[in-house]
Amino acid sequence: MTRQAASSVRREGGTASVETIAAVPFLLLAALVAAQLVAAGYALWSAGVAVRAGARAQLVGGDGKRAARQALPALLRDGAKVADEDDAVSVRVDVPRLLPALPPLALEAETRLDGGGG
């Protein structure tokens, strides 16, 4: 390989390194956004499962509020607000924040108990 060709290869390698370093913050931001979306989906799914558990317990004469709270994962259980009324069960959970600087977000799931066969 000639001296000029070797010099050209080294310059291109240096450019690739700078481009890679410049892209890393954007890749980290994309990963953080994706992880936060996963956390929100997990919270919503868990609230839905808890509401169904509470409704089942209430329909058979049990404590719907207690059943809904027990169906929540421990991570979401502490800050959850569970309401058990005669014809409805609702669960409100806080979405886990990956960065404390993010604004708080809460999700709510609710089900109404109808006597009709729908």
For strands 88-94 and 106-112, give the pairing. antiparallel
Q: What is the pLDDT of residues 64-93, one digit of tens each?
A: 999 999 999 999 999 999 998 878 899 999
The pLDDT score that the predictor gives to residue 48 is 95
Q: 94-112 burial by CB neighbour count: b if 16+ within 10 A, else e?
A: bbbeeeeeeeeeebebebe
Structure tokens at 107: 């999700």
- Per-residue pLDDT at 100 exceeds 80: yes
Structure tokens at 58: 């209430």
How does the average pLDDT of the chain come out, rounded?
86
Residue 21 has pLDDT above 60, yes or no: yes
Contact assessment for residue 91 and residue 82, using Cβ atoms and an 8 Å cutoff: yes
Backbone angle region of 72, left / alpha / beta, with phi > 0 → left and psi within -120 to 50 → alpha = beta
The residues near 55 (Cβ < 8 Å, ≥ 6 apart) are: 64, 89, 111, 113
8 A C-beta contact, residue 76 and residue 70: no
